[in-house]
Amino acid sequence: MSTQITGIGVGHGIAVGPALRMPDPIGEPPDVESQLEALDEYARVEEALTAVTDELVDLGRRAGGDAEGILEAQSLMAQDPAVVDDIRQRVGDGKTAERSVYEAYEGYARVLEGLGDNPAARGADVRDVARRVIARLRGVALPAVPQSETPFVLVAYDLAPADTATLDLSKVLALVTRDGSNASHTAILARNKNIVAIVGAAGSDVIVNGQTVIVDAESGQVVTDPDLAALAVAAERGGRVIAPRPLTPGALSDGTPVPLLANVGSPEEAAPAVALGAEGVGLFRTEFLYLDARSAPSVELQRSRYRDLMSAFAGRKVVVRVLDAGADKQLAFLGHTHEENPALGRRGIRALREHEDVLRDQLTALVGAQSDTGAELWVMAPMVADVDETAYFVSLARSLGLGTVGVTVEVPAAAVLADQVVPLCDFVSIGTNDLTQYTLAADRMLGLVAQYQDPWHPAVLRLIKLIGDAGHASHTPVGVCGEAASDPLMAIVLVGLGAEDLSMSPGAIGDVRAALAGVTLARARELAERTLTQTSAAAARAVVAEALA
């Protein structure tokens, strides 16, 4: 008999196939007294925490893209000083390593869940770290995604970021999870990978292996044992929806163009971005060439790798951000040493300015790659704070032969001084991730302040408006290259605040294109104005969602 299960759809796709269930997660360790000395028990914890940290970092590097940042952030949870101290104290009280890890991370997860939707979504990441550490302590393997010779729908209580990031997309037709929200990392990565998914499907426990299911993300419905009529409708919609949407240029309903670009981190990500409808590259992160190097790469090597990327976008816009080292990306050849607060230290243009030879080589390589490919190259500097840094970079880049030079605005000082900074550039791009971090004084890598990591906050939106207004006044193009552009509702607001193009994870382009096509520029501006008068991120988001419901 057919049944319907309701959850939260991710995207607009539909898929049909047999279900395979993920094995149940590792259970709660018993609360028993340890038979070891506290020092020996804690030594086991230290080894397990280090191993899990290294494992998550390695998985992130192999997955690349947005998954790398998510998994690196999760790896930091395995070394969070407050949680580690909590574990040490519990071990000192006589608890086993397994129980101490479980209780400490469970407490951390519950704190996050008490702070609202976005932090609550991170609770799943915290619990996944605990499960990995406990599995290491027990010497057992974690439950893994089932293997199958034929495509299937994966059903699980929830998926860890590492599981979602490493899925075999040739086999997994869709995801259904009992837990999770639209803000969970499962949802974010599913959206980025263009996977049909439904999260928070509380009734999905009844789905059994081999059962045929329809997963309709647009309606948020999972249909088990569908009849022939339902299968026929799904097949018809599948041909229309799962296939890539028409790759028309991004635009509003009144015809205002809004180019939709891709954020990429290596040349290998270019072809998939084109397939998903990217009209160009709005952020090419060049750090991949530097992170594992003992010295700066040669001009010839850089030129070759930049050429690989630009060849996929010949004749189209490619925005390259020069090396953004520092913070979580420390490089010895840039003189990086230990800093108490590296996010506020020698990163971005500050480090490059002190090592101008590295910057000159990179800019020279970019000029060469442009001449090799005919791409429309735009180059920008990271972490610029004021007029002096802007003028320095723009002057140097132009002197080396670059024609379109700009900066990323992600430091609040540059936003406040937008009327001075923006006119010096050929374009500016707003980095919403760091702009949010610095505006709300909340380290984006620290889960305990995750509730502040929300670009919908009116303080962030007001800064974006300052930048948009400065661009309009000086006729300087303004774009957005932060994760906020991947949110279809936020995309409308960003355009209303003055953004003329949006760059995002390639998997989000289809949904953003559809959202923008439903509003005029006047409507986008009206909605943006409403957000500026709200008192919280939740209120700003709600006022737009309600207006467009």
CA distance 383 to 409: 7
Q: Is 260 in a helix, a strand, or coil?
A: strand
Give the single-character DSSP code of 143. P
CA proximity to 165, closest of 70, 246, 289, 258: 70
Within 204-348, residue ranges assigned H as helices are: 228-241, 270-275, 299-311
CA distance 77 to 477: 39
Per-residue burial over 214-247, b if 16 or more Cβ lie within 10 Å, else e, is bbbbeebbbbbebeeebeeebeebbeebbeebee
* Ramachandran assignment for 13, one of left (phi > 0), alpha (psi -120 to 50 degrees), beta (any other): beta
Measured distance between the N- and C-terminal CA atoms of the chain, rounded to whole angstroms: 33
CA distance 429 to 319: 9
CA distance 345 to 504: 27
Here the tokens at position 149 are 């010779």
Here the tokens at position 108 are 């951390």
Token pair 């809004």: residue: 258
CA proximity to 249, closest of 501, 528, 13: 501
Here the tokens at position 245 are 């949407």
185 catalytic per annotation: yes
Determine the longest span between alpha carbons in the chain, in angstroms. Answer: 72
CA proximity to 325, closest of 300, 299, 362, 275: 362
Catalytic residue, candidates 336, 425, 457, 481: 481
CA proximity to 270, closest of 252, 282, 258: 282
425 catalytic per annotation: no
Catalytic residue, candidates 185, 336, 425, 457: 185
Residue 106's alpha-carbon distances to 85, 122, 300, 446, in angstroms, are 14, 12, 50, 17
Strands 172-177 vs 427-430: parallel, antiparallel or unpaired: unpaired
- Other Cβ atoms within 10 Å of 206 Cβ, number: 9
- Other Cβ atoms within 10 Å of 348 Cβ, number: 25
Residue 69's alpha-carbon distances to 59, 72, 168, 321, 349, in angstroms, are 11, 5, 20, 17, 21
Helix count and strand count (H, E) for the chain: 21, 16
Q: Which residues contact 87 (CB under 8 A, 6 or more apart)?
A: 42, 45, 97, 100, 101, 104
Q: Which residues does the annotation mark as catalytic? A: 185, 481
